[in-house]
Amino acid sequence: MSETDTPHNLVVVHTRHWWRWIFSAIALFVVAQFAWSLLTTDRYQWDVFAEYFLSPSVLKALQLTLWLTVISGSIGFILGGVLAIARLSRSALLNSLAYGFIWFFRSVPLVVQLLVWYNLGYLYPTLGLGWPFTTDFWIHEFDTVTLISSFAAAVLGLSLNQAAYSAEIIRAGILSVDQGQLEAAAALGLPRRVRFFRIVLPQAARAIIPNAFNEIISLVKGTSVVFVVALPELFYTVQVIYNRTQQVIPLLLVAVVWYAIITTVLGIAQFYIERYFSRGSTRVLPPTPVQKFTRWVRVQWARLDDKPAPEESTAIQTAAGGIR
């Protein structure tokens, strides 16, 4: 082998991804065209958007939207966890009851559930505690209309509907855990509680979290349905304002941007939570967006200097037999 053929003098020729560059250029052109139209089209009325984006009524509605999401999501996932365990139970009664709950609330549209809860006083004027199978509420009696306000009806409808979907997500995550690990833990004599919380749940979380965040994001946008019970959440408030001012597009943009901000924050949280629970399945944690960007900058900077990129240099050194 001549000196010029040694691995140290090999020239790395990068693959030319022409089609990748062409489609990237087309996509960038479309995005730039849309951004240009956003900035130059007067009918978007950005001045009206700026006037209402941080207005007190919109912020108050946003706060109600977040509260509904937090309360309904918490109740939904806690109840969903109980239902998922019941579905996996060997008890035929618990399994059947959990299946019936999930079947019913997944079959009935959310709007119908909200309206039924809001009008429950028509079916049952009073609720209370007393003798079973009678209306003799001798312990305590409540007026249903007073007890179930529009906010309570919204929380009930969203929570129970969310619990039905969460139960199936959690059940699927638990079933995804390798049964061999459960058998090994049982063979070691670990208590059932330790097996579930220390072995099953951390592994099931990797399958549960992506779908759970999808459900939470859907729940954020699903809160817009509670306008049927006249609850002034974000979308309902925006509707009230543009019905009064007739400035539909800028007010809709206000709602869209706020929903996008909430979704973005949830997406960031999902990334870091998934990264945390991936510790058990990967030796090296996936890089964060900041780490990806800095690595990309180093590679591009090395290419400008006509020097091998850091990853390429490492690969050549390894092939050459551990040169330092």
Task: Give the C-alpha separation, 42 to 153, whole Å.
Answer: 41
Confidence label for 7 from pLDDT (cuts 50, 70 and 90)? low
Q: What is the pLDDT of residue 182?
A: 79
Provide the token pair at 17: 């991804």
Between 92 and 139, where is the model more confident? 92
Confidence label for 315 from pLDDT (cuts 50, 70 and 90)? very low
Provide the token pair at 320: 């050459």
Q: What is the pLDDT of residue 253?
A: 94
Q: Is 60 exceeded by the pLDDT of residue 28?
A: yes
Q: Is 60 exceeded by the pLDDT of residue 292?
A: yes
Q: What is the pLDDT of residue 197?
A: 85
- Mean pLDDT value of segment 290-310: 75
Name which of 100, 79, 62 is nearest 223 in CA terms.
Answer: 62
Confidence label for 298 from pLDDT (cuts 50, 70 and 90)? confident
Cα 323 to the center of its chain, rounded Å: 47
Q: What is the pLDDT of residue 324?
A: 34
* 235 residue type, one letter: F
Pairing of strands 126-129, 140-143: antiparallel
Q: What is the pLDDT of residue 314?
A: 47
- 73 class by beta-carbon count within 10 Å (0-12 exposed, 13-18 middle, 19+ buried): buried
- Mean pLDDT value of segment 201-222: 90
The percent of the chain in helix, strand and coil, each rounded to the nearest 5, is: 75, 0, 20
SS3 state of residue 128:
strand
- Mean pLDDT value of segment 261-286: 85
- Mean pLDDT value of segment 73-81: 94
- Mean pLDDT value of segment 190-209: 86
Q: Which residue has the tokens 């590679």?
A: 299
Q: Is 70 exceeded by the pLDDT of residue 90?
A: yes
Q: What is the pLDDT of residue 5?
A: 53
Task: Give the C-alpha separation, 39 to 44, whole Å.
Answer: 8
Phi, psi of 2 (to 5 degrees): -75, 170
